């Protein structure tokens, strides 16, 4: 594919790691929401991604990402040979490097007008609560380039969004059953995750395996576990419920962070992310990635 194929359309182009669990899902969600905000005018907008992972550069890799994030038939996620990808990165001044086995790249998103000219460059920030605001800013920029400058379907304030910290009492919708309340009063362990982690890990086994932790915590020897799905980056809450229903019974509650404010308040920088909270609402320990059960139990006891 080349940009010349899309003359007459406004293009939103992002450089995306096909196995990213940090900032890329936020970029992808904001791209899709931006086009949705444009309503019928969104048909004049094309969403494109270019792979920024040299270790996962097959068509199967980019298709897996698109499926996990509900982007099949929503965008074109492009990949190629090492030489082709490196040429694209250079052309757009995208830095790609591998640090401690992890892909690190410039989280850039470009708005390109109907004549193929770059109009704006945005850098996605690691802030879950800003996805909706980013989408609105992006949609407003695109609307300024479209005939008639269409109005957005909805608008929100662009003021700073306050995070919900462990010191705050917050009630979240649940995957099933009654709402889930987080906050001070007793020590607890929180797991932040998203269903799209199934692309890069055996998510179902990890979640069901945590039943053993919940069982051990039952007698009061360990802080109880609550899982929080980062729903703000999911295709939909219903998609998450469908996924969870296929896991069978979980012995711990699963809450939905639909705004991202909880993830930001708890300092989440990746998925999955464990946070151990004291009874007074202080973060005692956090961990990026899955842990074997003995290691998780040991960390919870030390905390």
Integer Cα distance of 273 and 287 in angstroms:
6
Q: Please give the backbone phi and psi of residue 130, each rounded to the nearest 5 degrees, phi first.
A: -95, 0
- Final residue before a domain boundary, out of 96, 112, 145: 145
Categorize the per-residue pLDDT at 67 as very low, low, confident or very high, splitting at 50, 70 and 90: very high
Total Cβ atoms within 10 A of residue 286:
18
Contact 225, 193 (CB under 8 A): no
Integer Cα distance of 89 and 302 in angstroms:
45
Categorize the per-residue pLDDT at 10 as very low, low, confident or very high, splitting at 50, 70 and 90: very high
Partners of residue 229 on adjacent β-strands? 193, 256
Contact 26, 126 (CB under 8 A): yes
Q: Is the same domain home to 141 and 177?
A: no
pLDDT over 80 (residue 13):
yes
Tokens of 103: 């892909």
DSSP per position, 17-66: -TT-SSSHHHHHHHHHHHHHHTGGGGGGEEEEEEE--TTS-SHHHHHHHH
Q: What is the DSSP letter of 166?
A: T
DSSP per position, 230-250: -GGGSS-HHHHHHHHHTT---
Contact 168, 242 (CB under 8 A): no
Integer Cα distance of 271 and 191 in angstroms:
9
- Total domains present in the chain: 2
Categorize the per-residue pLDDT at 43 as very low, low, confident or very high, splitting at 50, 70 and 90: very high
The total number of residues written for the chain in this structure: 303
Integer Cα distance of 268 and 148 in angstroms:
40
Q: How high is the pLDDT of residue 227?
A: 98
Integer Cα distance of 249 and 226 in angstroms:
14
pTM score, two decimals?
Answer: 0.95
Q: Taking residues 198-218, report their average pLDDT.
A: 95
Total Cβ atoms within 10 A of residue 53:
22
Q: Is the same domain home to 133 and 11?
A: yes
Q: Is the same domain home to 129 and 219?
A: no
Q: Identify whether 58 is part of a domain.
A: yes
Q: How high is the pLDDT of residue 159?
A: 95
Q: Identify whether 116 is part of a domain.
A: yes
Q: Taking residues 254-268, report their average pLDDT.
A: 98
Q: Identify which of 280, 303, 301 has the alpha carbon closest to the alpha carbon of residue 221.
A: 301
Q: Identify whether 162 is part of a domain.
A: no
**Domain hosting residue 12, numbered range:** 3-145
**CATH code of 131's domain:** 3.40.30.10
Q: What is the pLDDT of residues 75-131, one digit of tens each?
A: 999 999 999 999 999 999 999 998 777 889 999 999 999 999 999 999 999 999 999
Judged by DSSP in three states, 79 sits in coil
Q: What is the pLDDT of residues 139-170, one digit of tens each?
A: 999 999 999 999 999 999 999 999 999 999 99
Q: Is the same domain home to 209 and 116?
A: no
Q: Identify whether 29 is part of a domain.
A: yes
Categorize the per-residue pLDDT at 300 as very low, low, confident or very high, splitting at 50, 70 and 90: very high
Q: What is the DSSP letter of 135?
A: H
pLDDT over 90 (residue 174):
yes
Q: Taking residues 206-226, report their average pLDDT.
A: 93
């Amino acid at each position: 594919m080349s940009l010349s194929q899309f003359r007459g359309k406004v293009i939103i182009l992002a450089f995306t790691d096909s196995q990213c669990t940090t900032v890329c899902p936020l970029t992808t969600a904001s791209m899709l929401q931006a086009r949705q905000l444009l309503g019928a005018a969104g048909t004049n907008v094309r969403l494109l991604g270019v792979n920024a992972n040299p270790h996962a550069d097959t068509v199967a890799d980019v298709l897996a990402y698109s499926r996990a994030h509900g982007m099949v038939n929503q965008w074109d996620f492009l990949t190629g040979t090492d030489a082709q990808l490196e040429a694209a990165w250079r052309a757009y001044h995208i830095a790609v490097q591998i640090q401690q086995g992890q892909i690190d790249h410039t989280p850039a998103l470009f708005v390109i007008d109907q004549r193929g000219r770059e109009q704006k460059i945005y850098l996605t920030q690691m802030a879950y609560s800003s996805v909706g605001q980013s989408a609105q800013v992006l949609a407003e920029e695109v609307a300024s380039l479209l005939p008639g400058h269409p109005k957005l379907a909805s608008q929100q304030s662009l003021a700073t969004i306050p995070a919900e910290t462990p010191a705050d009492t917050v009630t979240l919708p649940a995957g099933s059953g009654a709402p889930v309340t987080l906050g001070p009063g007793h020590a607890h362990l929180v797991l932040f995750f998203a269903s799209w982690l199934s692309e890069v890990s055996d998510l179902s086994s990890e979640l069901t395996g945590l039943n053993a932790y919940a069982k051990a915590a039952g007698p009061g020897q360990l802080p109880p576990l609550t899982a929080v799905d980062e729903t703000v980056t999911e295709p939909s809450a219903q998609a998450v419920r469908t996924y969870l229903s296929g896991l069978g019974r979980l012995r711990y509650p699963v809450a939905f962070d639909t705004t991202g404010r909880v993830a930001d308040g708890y300092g989440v920088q990746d998925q999955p992310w464990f946070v151990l909270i004291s009874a007074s609402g202080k973060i005692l320990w956090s961990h990026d990635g899955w842990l074997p059960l003995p290691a998780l139990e040991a960390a919870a006891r030390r905390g």
